[in-house]
Structure 1
Amino acid sequence: MFFDLIFTGMPGGPVPGTEVWAEGMGSAPGGIANLAIAAARLGLRTGLASGFGDDAYADWLWTVLSQQEGVDLTAARRYRHWHTSVTVSLALDGDRAMVSHGHPDPEPAGTLAAAAPPARAVVADITQPGDGDAPWWRAPAASGSLVFADGGWDPTQNWDPARLATLDGCHAFTPNAVEAMAYTRTDTPARRRARLAEHVPLVVVTRGAEGALAVDSATGAQVEVPPLRVRALDATGAGDVFAAALIGATLQGWELERRLRFAVLCSALAVQHFGGSLAAPGWGDIADWWDATVAAARTGDRAARETADSYEFLEDVLPGHALARVRRAEATIARFSDAMPDTAAPAPAPTVRPAG
């Protein structure tokens, strides 16, 4: 769990002895909150097992997640004398650079996850240590949960290939192209897919502005989906939004190409706003994009017609979802009252536990 502060519209990155002014900024829940909020906005009943500090950032994060976004924090914990991790994200050249500070969680992920209710799917980061020799997600996998494993950033940059052995029992692995290349020690997309497919039934590699590719070893299907061309404001959390959409589409039983296209769409909509979590689209955003795409196709726009043909499945999907509006990141931390629906009562104070 992170508090994210995002700067956009920068002429370049800062260098020692200089000051750079950004045209825009936004504050948002970050880290695993990106994925939790993105999933909740797509209508999935979503819970989060994570540690929160006892500072003002944590107060705000807890309120936004539980009251504004409807994320179940039953398995989350707050710890006394432990501060919130913070990331400053700089949007540069269509990607992002980050500076982060934080401390290891007071309790292992498995301890928190053990308190979570049963779930059809869980998300895990393979860079996180397990309890003893067994990763925490083995227990939910044995109970029938589909485990979607994320590559995660390795701060040591060793990218130990032995970590891939922990994928045993996972349903899918969703690294980005850099992570896939680093973990497999390969230099071509085909070799990366083949190496990773040895460990999980479904491999999905995100490639940012180049789209995504996937291989389903159970069926032998291999799919490559191009990106959607949009004006990107901030790529922070785009991979998390992609993963949330992929999980939702998988739980709906969609075929592989449709799942990938939907995930590419959701991440493309997200990068047009500040921050990964509060930039995540709701079904109303998806409906607006679809209406605009169809309208452009009817004018004879060839690119819009090709896009509309590729996403025609949305005609059948959209009627089953509420088209509610969602909140976006603000420049500074919003007042607590702004993070709650008008009819909502204040959230009960969560238990704060000792960090030691």
Structure 2
Amino acid sequence: MDDLTGGGAPDSTGAPLLDVFMQGTTFFDMVLTGLPSQPVPGTEIHAEGMGSCPGGIANLAIAASRLGLRTGLASTFGDDVYGDFLWRTLEQEGVDLTRSQRVADWHSPVTVSLAVHRDRAMVTHAHSSPVPLAGLVSDTPITRIGFVSLDEEPEPWVSRAKAKGAKLFGDVGWDPSGRWAPEELTGLGDLHAFLPNSTEAMAYTRTEDPRAALMSLAELVPVVVVTCGGQGSIGIDSLTSEEEWVPSLPVNAVDATGAGDVFDAAFILGTLREWPLRNRMAFGNLCAALSVQQVGGSLAAPGWGDLADWLAGVRHAAAAGSRSAAVLANSYGFVADELPSHPAVSLRRAVATIARMSDA
């Protein structure tokens, strides 16, 4: 088993060697759950739950760090109370912020996520950072995997990291213009793995079902996995000639925010540990399923303690005669071999307010 829990020796800049490095915008996420419907003009509705947590690229960073991956993030943070909360929380989660920066007189981007009936809508207020993200990474991070978003301009560090042996993973975001221009996917040829959801995959490939989109994308990138929400995930690894469909797990979803990022982090870990494609996808499905049962994207991400508890519960139910639990225990038996031997630590969860002194 690879050692994915240490901090790594520093490189020439003093930054630690990393398992995964990413760059992007960090948002302060306020998540409202248990809404009976989306708001209608002229009315007021009440949410049953609420949580505050780092969002945006922080969803992936925290999910990866909680799985023991040495994770680096380049992002900008305002000098407001939101920025204080975001920076402190990421540091507490073990994310390396060597290449991140606090920015004076600029407020941190904020997203309000409205969770309704297993889906969500989001409202964001943000201004461009006065410090471009491109200015944060002047060197080449020494990392095993670099994560990029294809709907953003490629940064110089990406090609340099690939030249030094990093595998590039990527996804795309929602296109508010509705154009879904295929030319935005020109960077696919540089990727080792592409991990879109079904809506994104079909829109960019101009196909009408997820598998057709998968087959189209598999002509362009070695590893493609399309996540399909409650229908699970489908994937092709052309390097190993594997094609898989892995069903989702039955869960009572509270908040789907960040579930895709949690899946990506889990798939990255499985790649670093050289698992078969089915196990990589199953682990992604499992981690995403555990995350949607908590409020808040990044702080809902599971750690190894959550995974150990889930597996123990499934095995207990299987021993008591549950056939469905027996199927799960067999399908996810590989997780037991991957559980770290060190004690699991308790994880922070999203809370309604931004705590002050109680965070210390």
Fold shared per TM-score above 0.5: yes
Q: Deviations over 1:15-48 (max 9, x none)?
A: 1000110011000000000100000000011111
Give me the whole-angstrom Cα distance separating, in 1, the residues matched to 2:33 and 2:320: 34
Give me the whole-angstrom Cα distance separating, in 2, the residues matched to 1:152 and 1:329: 24
Letter matched to residue 80 of structure 2: D
1:291 aligns with 2:315: no
- Deviation for aligned residue 1:277: 0.4
Q: Deviations over 1:126-185 (max 9, x none)?
A: 111235xxx652221121111110111222221110111112211111110000011100
- Deviation for aligned residue 1:314: 1.6
CA shift in 2, pair 1:6/1:257, >3 Å: same
Stretches of structure 2 lacking an aligned partner (at least 5 in a row): 1-25
Partner of 1:94: 118
1:174 pairs, out of 175, 186, 195, with 195
SS state at 1:144 partner: coil
Give me the whole-angstrom Cα distance separating, in 2, the residues matched to 1:219 and 1:110: 35
CA shift in 2, pair 1:167/1:190, >3 Å: same
- Deviation for aligned residue 1:334: 1.8
1:246 aligns with 2:246: no
Give me the whole-angstrom Cα distance separating, in 1, the residues matched to 2:269 and 2:341: 14
With CA pairs under 8 Å and 6+ residues apart, which has the higher RCO, 1 or 2? 1
1:42 aligns with 2:67: yes
Partner of 1:281: 302
CA RMSD of aligned residues (A): 1.5
SS state at 2:196 partner: coil
1:28 aligns with 2:28: no
SS state at 1:168 partner: helix
- Deviation for aligned residue 1:337: 4.5
Partner of 1:327: 348
SS state at 1:215 partner: strand
Q: Deviations over 1:162-219 (max 9, x none)?
A: 1111122111111100000111001122321121112211101111111111101122
The answer (yes or no) to whether the contact 2:260–2:288 under 8 Å persists in 1 is: yes
Give me the whole-angstrom Cα distance separating, in 1, the residues matched to 2:298 and 2:140: 21
Partner of 1:106: 130
The answer (yes or no) to whether the contact 2:304–2:340 under 8 Å persists in 1 is: no
SS state at 1:190 partner: helix
Give me the whole-angstrom Cα distance separating, in 2, the residues matched to 1:125 and 1:48: 14
- Deviation for aligned residue 1:56: 1.0
Give me the whole-angstrom Cα distance separating, in 2, the residues matched to 1:152 and 1:274: 22
SS state at 1:278 partner: helix
SS state at 1:47 partner: strand
SS state at 2:204 partner: helix
Letter matched to residue 227 of structure 1: S
Correspondence 1:54-65 to 2 at 5 A: 54-65=79-90
Give me the whole-angstrom Cα distance separating, in 2, the residues matched to 1:141 and 1:280: 28
Give me the whole-angstrom Cα distance separating, in 2, the residues matched to 1:80 and 1:69: 24
Partner of 2:327: 306
1:186 aligns with 2:214: no
The answer (yes or no) to whether the contact 2:308–2:336 under 8 Å persists in 1 is: no
Partner of 1:137: 158
- Deviation for aligned residue 1:319: 4.2
Partner of 2:96: 72
More off after superposition, 209-218 vs 233-242: 209-218
Give me the whole-angstrom Cα distance separating, in 1, the residues matched to 2:94 and 2:300: 16
Letter matched to residue 27 of structure 2: F
1:128 aligns with 2:152: yes
Partner of 2:37: 12
CA shift in 2, pair 1:166/1:15, >3 Å: same
Partner of 1:263: 284
Stretches of structure 1 lacking an aligned partner (at least 5 in a row): 341-356
The answer (yes or no) to whether the contact 1:227–1:264 under 8 Å persists in 2 is: yes
Partner of 1:158: 179
Letter matched to residue 137 of structure 1: V
TM normalised by structure 1 equals: 0.91
- Deviation for aligned residue 1:321: 5.2
Letter matched to residue 129 of structure 1: E
Give me the whole-angstrom Cα distance separating, in 2, the residues matched to 1:41 and 1:178: 28
1:224 aligns with 2:245: yes
1:52 pairs, out of 72, 77, 84, with 77
Give me the whole-angstrom Cα distance separating, in 1, the residues matched to 2:210 and 2:48: 37
**Identity over aligned residues, as a percent?**
55
TM normalised by structure 2 equals: 0.90
